[in-house]
A and B are shown apart, each in its own frame.
Chain A
Amino acid sequence: MRRLVTRLSAAAAAAGLATAGLVAGAVPAQAAACTGTSGVTVVVDFGSSTSIRCAPGDPSSGLAALQAAGFSVKQVQRQPGFVCRIDGAPASDPCVNTPPTSAYWAYFHAARGGSWSYSSLGAASYDPKPGSVEGWSFGSGAAPGSAPPAKTSTPRSTPTTKPKPKPTPAPSKPTARPKPTGGGSTAGSTPRGTTSAAAPTGSTAPSASATASPGPSSTVDPTASPSGTPGDDSTPLAAAPTSTEAGGSGAGTLVAGGALVALVASGAGFAAWRRRS
């Protein structure tokens, strides 16, 4: 349930942030690197712009962190777990087969203020540690253009608009979940006609660190509460619908399809029965 809540809030945040690449203040708790040692900072390099947000708590996987940070994720239709689009980019990819090696979302890990390292696991398999940084970069596998944000010393005050902080700690998985697919560690082998924005190294605007004051990296945050911080679990706002898939109109489609299948199958059964008799 909690994951559903975070995803709903993530979708709501994505709806607010979808238009501009970086709108500081729209969803204040997430539109910057995490403070303290809790939460996973997610850096997404869109090529033309870079977005840095914070996934609160301890997300169970890189994919969950990406979604909890407010990015909308669309997976490859034939390869569940393989990230195809983040916040609708790239729009040119139909997301049916795995993207080509020249235009996919490469997945990186880093420590705060460290350097990027290409993930050897898929995003659905890797369990990021709280306080670490996850990087996503579109292109042919190059690291994100901006360095992992450094550690912050001053704990920022949590936003005042938070209605009701949930005290439940994240149900963190105890073990790492290794698995090959996803995240872009697989080379796509499908011929694709055109892929826009194939160049990953655009001019990345490093303005994302506007809100998080980069302090000296040696200072340890004293206020990191060990009792499982509630995180920035903003309760769902006006129930923004999650991604609007072309999923049919519900029960009517199911009944119609089922009736059609049953009709043809009963025809087959009748033909077989008539032959036997």
Chain B
Amino acid sequence: MTRPLPRAVHPAAWWGWAVGLAVAVSTTSNPLLLLLALAVASLVVAARRGSSPWARAFRLYLWLGLAIIVVRLVLHVLVGLKLGSTLLLPLPEATLPSWAAGIQLGGDVYLEGLLGAAVLGLRLAVIIACIGAANALANPKRLLRSLPSALHEVGAAVIVSVSVAPQLAESVQRVRRARQLRGDAGRGLRAVRRIALPVLEDTLERSLLLAAAMDSRGYGRSGAAPARERRLTGAVALVGLLACAIGLYGVLDASTPVLLGTPTLVAGLALSALGLWLGGRHVRTSTYRPDPWRGAEWLTVGCGVAAAAGMTLVGRLSPDALAMPLEPLGVPALPIVGVAGLLGAALPAFLTPEPPRPAPGWPSAGPWG
């Protein structure tokens, strides 16, 4: 078997994979499945992340998830509803006036309630880790090309803003390295003063480079559409978005009329798509090195969808297997379909082409990653 040539997998494929994994995670509060999903996401990130600055951000998302769990536990002890029968920590409870009924300040902490809070925090942490995995695996600048052309202006602004922080961090590293090579290993406040100006200059220079590159490919130019058509496009997109919002509300709330649900949502989506198409007709952008969509992309998206589908199937057949049994406290189940789906989501770590490595000694990639 020949190894495929190193290339970056399409960013939209990574996002599809990550969203599928996040959907799978959101259906369950089973800690075994949650930890398995976290391990799978970490494995894929470790095996297939690129070398750009944001590719190293996955660790930050893990720390954020840990902070979420800790905050969840602290809030449970402070104001949570303490359920359960196994007393863990006897604490005094503040008596609140009747108008504040609904808040339990303090009170005995039970094992069941604490475990439930920890599992809910873990679920949110793993969902955030999934999104972090997508951020680490997919190059946001490359994702911009896959957006519909009508959204390019918004997309360009978003991309520039989200890539400022990692670029700033990288600039700091580069300037510090350069200073150390010259024998200036200064630390503390004085070093900050000496580093700040080069960093600012470096960041500005790179932003200008990015802006020039985007401008040369047609981004940021207003289209040549006549005023009447622009107004029509805006009206269609606005009505479409409104219909989407109303339709979503109708779908989620069972007490609204049926007509307000799915039909409105579908109509809103169609109108939004029409507005995007109308708006994008007059925008011309060109692409340098287009990202192909081949078998590896289909495989990546398919693995994410399979994970979500497996977990949804388990939820239909035996919803108890997806829950942490708290009342009475028990060992969580290990549903075979759900586990198989999650393990399948790890396949992109082995079956997709490796990301291209920068040549040794070469500075990090240019404005287009």
Contacts and interface: CB of A to CB of B under 8 A. Distances in A.
Interface string A233-277: 000000000110111111101101110110011011101100100
A243 B320 CA distance: 12
Contacts of A101: 255
Contacts of B137: none
A271 to B, nearest CB: 4
A251 B332 CA distance: 10
A267 B326 CA distance: 31
Contacts of B40: 264
B251 A268 contact: no
B364 interface: no
B104 A94 contact: no
What is the interface residue range for chain A against chain B?
A: 35 or more
Interface in A104-125: 120-122, 124-125
Contacts of A271: 43, 46-47, 349
A259 B4 CA distance: 32
Contact of B331 (A121, A247, A260, A265): A247
What is the interface residue range for chain B against chain A?
A: 35 or more
Nearest to A78: B29
Interface string A37-81: 000000000000000000000000000000000000001011011
A260 B327 contact: no
A269 B46 contact: yes
Interface in B308-357: 315, 318-323, 325-328, 330-334, 339, 343, 346, 349
B83 A248 contact: no
Contacts of B334: 248, 253, 256-257
Contact of A177 (B39, B47, B93): B93
Given A191-B252, A260-B36, A247 B46 contact: no
B100 interface: yes
B55 to A, nearest CB: 11
B325 to A, nearest CB: 4
B43 A264 contact: yes
Given A175-B93, A250-B331, A261 B39 contact: yes
B81 interface: yes
Interface stretch (A27-35, A162-170, A178-186, A211-219): A178-186
Nearest to A272: B46
Given A178-B104, A264-B343, 4 more contacts: A247-B320, A247-B330, A251-B331, A264-B346
12 contacts: A81-B83, A178-B102, A190-B252, A191-B254, A243-B328, A245-B330, A246-B321, A247-B331, A248-B330, A249-B331, A264-B39, A268-B47
